[in-house]
Structure 1
Amino acid sequence: MNAIGTRLAIRGAVTVGLLVLLSAVVFVGVDLLPGDPVTARLGAQGPEVVAAARSRLGLDRPVTERYLDWVVALAQGDLGTSASGRPVAEMLSGRLGNSVLLALLTVAVLVPLSLVLGVWAGLRRGSVSDRVISVVLLAVVSIPEFVLAGGLILIVAVGLGWLPAVSLVPPDSSPLAAPEILVLPVVSLVLLGVGYTGRIIRATTAAAVRAPHVEFLRLNGVPRATVVRTAVLPAVWPIAVQVWLVTAVGLIGGAVLVERVFGYPGIGEVLVTAVRTGDLPVVQALAMILGGATLIALFVADLGTELLTPVLRTAAR
């Protein structure tokens, strides 16, 4: 096994270990949240009724025993049963798909936009255009999600009447059946994401431009476009891919507020409702899905960096 294969094998083993650790943290952490499904639903019922309900849901068993049963079921693809009696997988299937669709559309716009803005500003470090782009990106990333989403509703939907203010999706229908309802949520998420990814790409580009080998090419009269293509972009790609992957996963869970503002039927409403009612199986499943997806995205980003960087360096030479 070569050096790259060894490093990837080690990172894969670390990722598996982190997933196991994550499962324990998620289960125990959620279990320690104040309230539970029984008290949330039965309220001030008698202690006998509450005890019977806790026994029926298995909440009277030791946490270690419940955790081991949960992990075994999770490894078999069983996300458990909600306190309402519905399978968690059934509750999340459509909602999670809607959130993934929103994240994919956002990334499809975010990737080229952040790359163009970041590279453009980084190549012109210290110029007026660089300062303007940097200030705008910093301002956008500083605005809370609900403020930005609410502002778009007031200006575009209410003021101009161009797009619907609420992203309602009919039951048993796909959001793609009415693409206009996706525009404002996607724009909100793109603005939030580009503020972070654009600044990272801009900093990476500015650092690459100052590298000795780039300066050597410039002093030897190599055309600017060739320098950017063969020396600057190869240094930007690995970092950009990592940022895009992590941002894409973060959009699935981080769009909770945006989904709530627009009434979009994603996992945001399910997560908020589950936390409010103490529906532990749903909260644990969502936390594990989102946390696991982030760890896997980081591993894929490392894999892409290891495999892509040597190819780009060879192409540059």
Structure 2
Amino acid sequence: MTLVTGRATSGPLWRVVAVMTARRLVAGLLVLFAVSVVVFVATEIAPGDAASASLGPDAGPAAIEARRAELGLDRPAPLRYVEWLGGLFRGDLGVSYASGVPVADIVAARAGNSLLLGGLAAVLLLPLAVVLGAWAGLRAGRLADRAVSKSTLTLMSVPEFVTGTLLAVVFAVQLGWLPAVSFLPPGQSPLDRPEILVLPVITLLTVCLAHNTRVVRAGVAQSAVGEAAESARLNGVVERRVVWRYILPAALPPVVPLFARYVTFLLGGALIAETLFGYPGLASALVVASASRDVPVVQAVGLLAAAVTVLVNLAGDVVGTLLDPLRRVPR
């Protein structure tokens, strides 16, 4: 039996991971239920509704009431919530108030675009953060470390919309290398026009890469002077093996949950990046749906974002636990 952070754990690692996963899944379901309530209540108390938004400001009370009855908005809110929740269990997300298209079709089309954008950013984020962070951490206090630290601090200090705007001005307006707007003709995938992904991906990466690089750098710098690394050096182990065998295994596991949280942010399609470049993802769909009071779309996107957050964070905790036996205690 091993004592870890004041708690004891025993048994094979697979059992510990299974128990932790089961507990997190139960907690995740409770979180999703709470999110469904919050999203539904928020859409209910927001000023205006889909009926008045679709008919315009010149519509009379009778026309608005008729439209509310057509959309089912005249029924009690608790009843509509129960019906919506029941539809979720059947895989029915409802129908868009604005377009009459099934919400599942809207979400499926936009989710694929957001996952592509966020997936590309995540694929670049992890190796770049590890390489830059480890490179700076192994040279703590030297010129390379100071350069990386100042650069990342600068990136963290600049708002995302400012970074995106500057990128558009330089690479789209002045140089003309890349499109300033991620326009996508109907029926096409972003992969058909990969140039529209470049500026949104770089914009998404800036703050995420800067923060994760600094965290990795701190962990590597601490592990590089730790007892395990120093003992290995005293026993004649070559520095390259010290880095791979002792420093990185000690430095990386604690930052895996942080990576997971940023991957969640990236996969969700950052609102600012998608809106700034007009990228056809979930975030931009959420903006349009909110403006038109298209409640079913808002509810579906909000719940999907919460589900992705729960699953990615769970995966990050599982990976961190597998990499670091000292963190095997279910929380």
Whether TM exceeds 0.5 here: the answer is yes
Pick aligned residue for 1:252 from 267, 274, 289? 267
Please report how far the alpha carbon of residue 254 of structure 1 lies from its aligned counterpart in structure 2 after TM superposition. Answer: 4.7
Query: What letter corresponds to residue 27 of structure 1 in structure 2?
Result: F
Structure 1 moving runs of 4+ over 4 Å: none
Q: Judge conservation of contact 1:234–1:312 (CA < 8 Å) in 2.
A: no
User: Alignment identity in percent?
Assistant: 42
Please report how far the alpha carbon of residue 44 of structure 1 lies from its aligned counterpart in structure 2 after TM superposition. Answer: 4.5
Say whether 1:307 aligns with 2:322.
yes
Say whether 1:271 aligns with 2:271.
no
Say whether 1:163 aligns with 2:192.
no
Determine the structure 2 residue equivalent to 1:185.
200
- The 2-side partners of 1:236 and 1:22 are apart by 34
The TM-score with structure 2 as length reference comes to: 0.86
Please report how far the alpha carbon of residue 224 of structure 1 lies from its aligned counterpart in structure 2 after TM superposition. Answer: 1.8
Residues 189-210 of structure 1, C-alpha deviation per residue, up to 9 Å, x if partnerless? 2223211221222222233334
Pick aligned residue for 1:104 from 116, 119, 125? 119
Q: How many residues align?
A: 313
Please report how far the alpha carbon of residue 49 of structure 1 lies from its aligned counterpart in structure 2 after TM superposition. Answer: 2.5
Residue 324 of structure 2 aligns to a residue whose secondary structure is helix
Q: Judge conservation of contact 2:321–2:327 (CA < 8 Å) in 1.
A: no
Please report how far the alpha carbon of residue 4 of structure 1 lies from its aligned counterpart in structure 2 after TM superposition. Answer: 3.7
Q: How does 1:1-317 map to 2 (within 5 A)?
A: 2-42=15-55, 43-84=57-98, 85-310=100-325
Comparing 262-271 and 280-289, the one that deviates more: 262-271
Comparing 183-192 and 225-234, the one that deviates more: 183-192
Residues 110-142 of structure 1, C-alpha deviation per residue, up to 9 Å, x if partnerless? 221111111112222222222221121121122
Q: Judge conservation of contact 1:201–1:239 (CA < 8 Å) in 2.
A: no
Residue 289 of structure 2 aligns to a residue whose secondary structure is helix
Residue 182 of structure 2 aligns to a residue whose secondary structure is coil
Residues 227, 285 of structure 1: CA spacing in aligned structure 2 closer, same or farther, 3 A cutoff?
Answer: same
Residues 208-259 of structure 1, C-alpha deviation per residue, up to 9 Å, x if partnerless? 3343323322333322211211122112333343233322221233522222
Q: Provide the aligned C-alpha RMSD in A.
A: 2.3
The TM-score with structure 1 as length reference comes to: 0.90
Query: What letter corresponds to residue 53 of structure 2 in structure 1?
Result: A
1 or 2, which has the higher helix percentage? 1
Q: Judge conservation of contact 1:123–1:209 (CA < 8 Å) in 2.
A: yes
Residues 174-199 of structure 1, C-alpha deviation per residue, up to 9 Å, x if partnerless? 11112222222222222232112212
Residues 11, 95 of structure 1: CA spacing in aligned structure 2 closer, same or farther, 3 A cutoff?
Answer: closer
Please report how far the alpha carbon of residue 172 of structure 1 lies from its aligned counterpart in structure 2 after TM superposition. Answer: 0.7
Residues 30, 128 of structure 1: CA spacing in aligned structure 2 closer, same or farther, 3 A cutoff?
Answer: farther
Please report how far the alpha carbon of residue 63 of structure 1 lies from its aligned counterpart in structure 2 after TM superposition. Answer: 2.5
- The 1-side partners of 2:320 and 2:127 are apart by 19
Query: What letter corresponds to residue 113 of structure 1 in structure 2?
Result: L
Q: Judge conservation of contact 2:132–2:213 (CA < 8 Å) in 1.
A: yes
Gaps of 5+ in 2: 1-10
